[in-house]
Amino acid sequence: MRCRLLPALVFLAGAGHAAEVDILRTAPPTGIYIETDYRHPDSAHCDWYYTAKDFLRETAIVSDRPCPVVVRLRGILSRQGALLFSQVTQRLADWPAEVSRIVLNSRGGDSTAAFQIARIIREHDVYRRQLPGVTTALDESETAVCFSACLIVFAAGFERYAVFDEYDDPALPSRLGIHRPGQYNPARGRYDSSDNNRYIQGVRKQLTDYFASVGVSSQLVDEMFAVPFDDIRLLTESEALEFKLVTRAQPLPN
């Protein structure tokens, strides 16, 4: 059975009231996009914009100068999406590309898929062509979020940037959301997130070991498991920095 770090209902606080959102119905479709990083000073010579499927069909460009690119990952994390990300990564290795950022907009999904994507980011040479390694960041859209299993992917960045509120108040909620994982039980037709579930216990250990390997505090796991599966708690800027989930709490340069 699959373990999902994905709530059926999300309660978004911080605007004076709670808004109930059925993310299984409203979540954006999964998509991977490869485009030129126009913020990079060496981007003038290249103009890339591909969907993942188009990129995989393209013939590799021959160039003496690498193109700085952004990989955008949007939508629910799935094992099919993890496979597509792996294929895109292998293709990028054949191109004159330097991946400067992986930009996220996801409400979560399959934790196994998230760990697969994170492992690729940490281990594949294509994400270390620019030192110290690729940066993960939230999408620039005001509605972009990184909830649940998305944080596993976010934490894989060698640098991790997040844009917080416009008032620069470290106590206000961010767009980084946490909760405990749940395992779908087909016999009961619902998710089980109880502490006595051995699979959930295994996921907790996996999260603890993984976060330690990327320099994130194990306290984040404790905070995740304190939030019910059918809820979301938005981290504040102070918490994200304290847990070392974010290495810089400011927007990237324009």
Provide the pLDDT for residue 28: 52
Q: In what order do the strands lie in the sheet with 49-51?
A: 49-51, 31-36, 67-74, 97-105, 135-138, 159-161
Give the position of tokens 């993984």: 210
Provide the pLDDT for residue 74: 94
- For the chain (length 254 residues), average pLDDT per consecutive 10? 43 31 47 89 84 88 81 93 95 89 94 96 92 90 90 97 69 84 78 78 93 97 93 91 88 48
Domain ranges of the chain: 3-242
Cα dihedral value 195, 198, 202, 208, nearest 10: 20
Provide the pLDDT for residue 142: 79
Provide the pLDDT for residue 9: 35
The CATH classification number of 3-242 equals 3.90.226.10
Provide the pLDDT for residue 150: 96
Provide the pLDDT for residue 3: 52
CA-wise closest residue to 162 among 74, 75, 239 = 239
Please answer whether residues 247 and 159 qualify as being in contact, where contact means their C-beta atoms are separated by less than 8 angstroms.
yes
| HSE-CB for 189 with a 13 A CA cutoff | 0
Provide the pLDDT for residue 12: 32
Please answer whether residues 125 and 156 qualify as being in contact, where contact means their C-beta atoms are separated by less than 8 angstroms.
no
Which residues have a Cβ under 8 Å from the Cβ of 123 and sit 6 or more positions away?
A: none
49 φ/ψ angles, rounded to the nearest 5 degrees? -155, 110
Read off the pTM.
0.85
